[in-house]
Structure 1
Amino acid sequence: MIHIRLFETEDCDAMITLFQRSVHEVACQHYNPDQLAAWAPKEIDRESWLKRCLSRPTWLAWDGDILAGFIDLEADGHLDLLYVSPDYQGQGVAKALYHEVEKQARCNKNKSIFVEASLSARPFFKKQGFHVQTRQTVERNGETFINFKMGKSL
């Protein structure tokens, strides 16, 4: 049974580990090893992650003491992070997390939610009612990536 709650400081290390696993074990279907290493390097600045998670609502999905996924929402309706553990793909974790975000966005009176979706995440967001606004080529740590700016009106 998945339990969703807001981020706590002690969650940071588990989130970083899940992020790295998700990128390297799930996104590997769409991106090459150099891109994956640039996106989720072995060494991640923990303080930057902590600062990011404390700056906005961030929800975590737990299966007992195992982190299954996480998501966040910025005040302007930008959904920046959505990652699900490779062990929990296709089990409704992303959908449950997304519902928390949409509920919060409606409470915030956001008119829309937008995201830069990876090739791996694009189908999920499409199923949630998002539409592609722009196909983008972005750069991170010297590597270029294709992603999609997607939006959903509320």
Structure 2
Amino acid sequence: MDERIVIRPYAPGDVDATIEIFLRAIREVSSHDYSAAQIEAWARVEDRALWAERRISRPGWIAEIDGQPVGFSDLTGDGCLDMMFVHPDFQGIGVATRLLRRAEKEALRLGFRRVYTEASITARPFFESKGFRVMTGQIVEKRGQSLENFLMEKFYA
């Protein structure tokens, strides 16, 4: 794992960095598992203010390397790891692992004994490697496109 990775709380000024990471991760990484039409439907942020409001309304974290945001995640009030995306240039060096560790620490602090997520085809192997299990496969609709993902969960003692 890259020791340069620093995890810090999300701040309002991170909105544009998180949008860029989100869009690039989907367009450049998830595009290996979804069609061009599915990617086009998924990789959009139509309301920057709503995006910013959602990010600041819950515990969230930014992963940085040398002061540059390279990933982000957040946790909803019911234990859902709603967002976790890593910039395409920083895949495979431990960014997601560090973000997940931080989210799990917060979940335990809040008293959750279960964390769940809706993992893309792309993210499923990562979550499985971290102890999550598939509860069910599902099809979600995004702007007229059907995308497969997986409802996954992990329990904590």
1:97 aligns with 2:91: no
The whole-number CA distance in structure 2 between the counterparts of 1:18 and 1:117 is 17
The whole-number CA distance in structure 2 between the counterparts of 1:112 and 1:132 is 13
The whole-number CA distance in structure 2 between the counterparts of 1:44 and 1:15 is 14
Query: What's the counterpart of residue 139 of structure 2?
Result: 137
Identity %: 42
For residue 81 of structure 2, give the secondary structure of its aligned residue in structure 1: coil
Deviation by residue 1:49-80 (Cα, 9 ceiling, x = unmatched): 10101110110001123211001001211010
The correspondence for 1:51, drawn from 50, 53, 61, is: 53
Query: What's the counterpart of residue 125 of structure 2?
Result: 123
The whole-number CA distance in structure 2 between the counterparts of 1:44 and 1:123 is 29
Aligned-residue CA RMSD (Å): 0.8
What runs of 5+ residues in structure 1 fail to find an aligned partner?
none
TM-score scaled by structure 1?
A: 0.97
Deviation by residue 1:89-109 (Cα, 9 ceiling, x = unmatched): 000000000000000000111
Query: What's the counterpart of residue 15 of structure 1?
Result: 18
Shift of 1:2: 1.3
The whole-number CA distance in structure 1 between the counterparts of 2:66 and 2:50 is 27
**Contact 1:132–1:148 under 8 Å retained in 2:** yes
1:86 aligns with 2:88: yes
What runs of 5+ residues in structure 2 fail to find an aligned partner?
none
What does residue range 16-35 of structure 1 map to in structure 2 within 5 Å? 16-35=19-38
Shift of 1:125: 0.3
Query: What's the counterpart of residue 6 of structure 2?
Result: 3
TM-score scaled by structure 2?
A: 0.95
**Contact 1:16–1:44 under 8 Å retained in 2:** no
State the number of aligned residues.
153
